[in-house]
A and B are shown apart, each in its own frame.
Chain A
């Protein structure tokens, strides 16, 4: 069942949440966000209130509020829809974040692929300025805040928050070592919060509705609602809003799909499951609720899907650490060999599975750690070695087995 808050037809006026926040102390705003239980909507699921509390406690005259609008995970387009329709809500959420942590400076890091949205976001900013909700001494409270838009330039890794910060600083997008964490030392080494577009968009609703109301929107222990982008073999691809913790099946029913072979949840770096597992829940405890869901019907060759994703990771690895740079390449070669028939038994893949495990453990950032998910899942769930050879032109005949 859909449960619309962020995408609701009738929404509170833009700015109402910010105005209410301005009547509270910054610490109270942080507590409301913390008590709502909201976890970051960009994938990693870190509790937003805890992040804001740390940045608020960091002592510095200058702090930064950064919106991660780099949305690069294959299959994800929810942030694009929010930017198209709710840029004011986003800026409002950033202004609340700035008030909460004591920052006057917001930056929206927009992926270059979304540059055509700059005029829309600029218009939203101008509307906020015209209404006195951005600028100096907002509502006479002695609080200043403004946002600027900066663009990436076609690098998926810049969605990783420390790579994003490097990029903003005019450098290549190589993820940093953590600690220090951005809340202490982020953009220009100042305390910085980086949050996803959807996270910021949810904040004004949380302020207006209260933390209990928001927490109760989710199912079970999950808090709030979540946007999902669904595409692939479905009748009505698009963005749907569901309670966090909803079964994947509910989302698929909304989008309409008859013949399902596989569903990928959480993008290329997420999990790929067979149709028999669609009862599982979209939540931080089960299927990654990052935002992307792609449905594959029975006509799709899942090895070709895997090949497409491994090429993606090879292309997008920043190359900084060996397990990821070399590992993604080796896994891609293994997939090519599976497709060509040069590998056709599970035993010949065991080294690759060990490599995948090593990548998961030793890669420096989330890209290398999660690039192995599609490899492991697709091979385990969708390649049948007991039957005939996957390719039909098998190496067994050559006696390699």
Chain B
């Protein structure tokens, strides 16, 4: 069961405090647990830290790992920088799009999966690479990438 965003924020405040400088940690916690950051979480963080909702919102919108749109419970981030594109990233992306029926930055209707492309993830020596729920997967082929994503809950 997914927890209520306000509960996650309350928990986060116990862990990280309610100073201005805790905001990134609070947002990261919500974002990791829910895959995105609902408005009620932003409001709860604003209230607890005494920072305006607009300012917390602007922080959320600055960072590409945060999302104000619901995302799938699994997030695939395929590297789109040159060492990966030179080693077949394009074919992998095509295969994922075909297999799962969504374009980058879209989510499947059942809420299982979001696919994103992302700049260099520092795995160029094992390209092409992707992060799946934060875990690295390297030396991908289209088949291997699809198998990994099929294997997700």
Binding site for B on A (CB under 8 A): 71-77, 79-80, 111-116, 150-156, 167-173, 188, 229-233, 237-239, 292, 294, 296, 300, 305, 308-309, 312, 315-316, 318
Is A154 a contact partner of B63 (Cβ separation < 8 A)?
yes
- Provide the bound-state CA to CA distance between A373 and B145, in Å: 34
Residue on B with the closest CB to A118?
A: B134
A161–B137 alpha-carbon span in the complex (Å): 29
User: Which residues of B are at the interface with A, using a C-beta cutoff of 8 A?
Assistant: 19-25, 27-28, 31, 49, 51, 58-59, 62-66, 77, 80-83, 85-86, 118-127, 131, 134-136
Question: Known: A74-B119, A75-B120, A153-B65. Is A116-B86 also a contact (CB below 8 A)?
Answer: no
Q: How far is the CA of A238 from the CA of B121 in the complex (A)?
A: 14
Inter-subunit contact B82/A229 (CB<8 Å) = no
A residues less than 8 Å from B135 (CB atoms): 116
Chain A residues in 8 Å Cβ range of B66: 153-154
A-B contact list, 18 entries, CB within 8 Å: A72-B122, A75-B120, A77-B125, A116-B136, A150-B25, A153-B64, A153-B65, A168-B24, A169-B21, A170-B49, A172-B58, A231-B124, A232-B83, A232-B124, A237-B127, A239-B125, A312-B119, A316-B119
Distance of A294 Cα from B31 Cα, bound (Å): 33
If A115-B134, A116-B134, A308-B85 touch, whether A150 touches B125 (CB-CB below 8 Å) is: no
Shortest beta-carbon distance from A167 to chain B in Å: 6
* Assembled-state Cα–Cα distance A116/B121 (Å): 12
- In the bound complex, residues from chain A placing their C-beta under 8 Å from that of B51 are 170
Whether A75 and B22, one on each chain, are in contact in the complex, defined by CB atoms closer than 8 angstroms, is: no
Alpha-carbon distance A155/B28, docked complex (angstroms): 13
Whether the pair A294, B123 counts as a contact (CB closer than 8 A) is no
With A231-B124, A308-B82 given, is the CB distance from A154 to B24 under 8 Å?
no
Chain B contacts of A229 at CB under 8 A? 124-125
The residues of A that contact B120 with a CB separation of less than 8 Å are 72-76, 312
A170 contacts across to B, CB distance below 8 A: 19-24, 49, 51, 59
Whether B28 contacts A72 by the Cβ 8 Å rule is: no
